[in-house]
Amino acid sequence: MRYRVLGGTGIEVSVHCLGTMMFGAVGNSDHDDCARIVHTALDHGINFVDTADMYSAGESEEIVGKALKGRRDDVVLATKVHFPMGEGRNQGGNSRRWILKEVEDSLRRLQTDWIDLYQVHRPDHTTDIEETLSVLTDLVSQGKIRAFGCSTFPAEDIVEAYHVADRRGLQRFRTEQPPYSLLARGIETSLLPTCLRLGMGVLTWSPLASGFLSGKYRKGRPVDLSSGRASLMPSRFDPSIPENVAKLELVEKLAEVADGLGCSLPELSVAFTLVHPAVTSVITGPRTMEQLGELLKGASLVLTDEVLDRLDEIVPPGTNAYHPDGAWLPPSLTTPTTRRRPTPDRPAT
């Protein structure tokens, strides 16, 4: 296992990070089996575990907390905050009020006194970024978190946060966690270069493109939209949708490259995400021990320039074959009034 320093913090993390989104009701509800996955990952040199408060409504954090008993000091533990965790107002977001409440709940579920990396799961444009950075800085001072980062933030939001932290004497985001795969290379255009310039660590997620690069979904094969990842996001797998047809065509070409290397498509996909100089670690989220074994097999795979050139021909750098974040879109796209000039029939609001 290889290790890299996390965003200038001096903390060394494995280049493979164990993601636990599939632990709990959404994926694997067998707590003992999930614990075995954690222990096997640690035994193979993975020292980095990532979860979030909202994964299976807190169940993932509870599983991780139980699994790390007796091994907590050996692990760099990351979790996230932002998405609603209950009904009613003020039960989510990036406000001081919510973060102070939710960090305590995460610490309790994880059965730990501190979180190594506390990440803001998505942007919240209703909350001043200074408000968010201020409370996170306070949590570092209190010893409840060691460092903090963001997840799936646009490059412009990261730059704004950097300058606000500098002007106000606050601590800054040390990491960013974006989606990145052979089918979603859009972050190569500005996000990854921005993180590199600012000295931020990058932890990429969804290297298998939500399962599309798992090898399970191939051209000409029937797709069961009622099970697995397809049941969670059927629109991403429905073969009647033109975008998915185009993805299947790309998968066939990528599978040819993997076959030529004598590796699996998942091994190729994970190895690719570690090539960019901005990337610190890739998050893989196995649901079963078998899936973990497949991912660990490719941990030592290194891609040559010749192979990377071939991959660039199939999916050009900086391009997305689909929109990789199904959980958030910027208000500039979702709110019509931000895209349309006022007229007599459409006054400004």
**Which comes out higher in pLDDT, residue 44 or 86?**
44
CA dihedral (79, 162, 143, 112) in degrees, to 10, reads 0
Q: What is the model's pLDDT at position 185?
A: 97
Is 70 exceeded by the pLDDT of residue 349? no
Task: Give percent helix, percent strand, percent coil of the chain, each to the nearest 5.
Answer: 40, 15, 45
- The CA distance from 166 to 160, in Å, is 10
Of 21-35, 36-50, 91-105, 316-330, the one with minimum mean pLDDT is 316-330
The rounded distance, in Å, linking the Cα atoms of 333 and 20 is: 30
Residue 50's beta-bridge partner residues? Answer: 19, 78
pLDDT at residue 146 above 90? yes
3 state DSSP class of 273 = helix
Q: Give the span between the Cα atoms of 171 and 180, in whole angstroms.
A: 26
What is the model's pLDDT at position 240?
A: 84
260-296 pLDDT per residue, tens: 999 999 999 999 999 999 999 999 999 999 999 988 8
How many helices (H) and strands (E) would you count in the chain?
A: 12, 10
Residues 172 and 146 sit within 8 Å (Cβ to Cβ): no
Residue 51: predicted pLDDT: 98
Domains delineated in the chain: 3-338 (3.20.20.100)
**Which of 151, 23, 22 is closest to 94 using CA atoms?**
151
Q: Has 55 been annotated as catalytic?
A: yes
pLDDT in tens, 210-238: 889 988 888 878 777 777 677 777 888 88
Planar angle of CA 22, 23, 25, nearest 5 degrees: 90
Whether the pTM exceeds 0.85: the reply is yes
Span 286-344, pLDDT tens digits: 999 999 998 888 888 999 999 999 999 999 999 999 999 878 888 888 888 888 888 88
Q: Rounded CA gap, 137 and 187, in Å?
A: 27
Alpha-carbon distance of 296 to 184, in angstroms, equals 22
CA max distance for the chain: 67
Q: What is the pLDDT of residue 71?
A: 96
Could you report the per-residue pLDDT of 51-88, keeping only the tens digit for each? 999 999 999 999 999 999 999 999 999 999 999 998 88
149: three-class secondary structure by DSSP: strand
Strands 12-14 and 3-5: antiparallel
Question: How far is CA 156 from each of CA 160, 191, 260, 319, 325, rounded to the nearest angstrom?
Answer: 6, 8, 39, 18, 17
Residue 347 has pLDDT above 80, yes or no: no
Angle at 298 between CA 315 and CA 47, to 5 degrees: 110
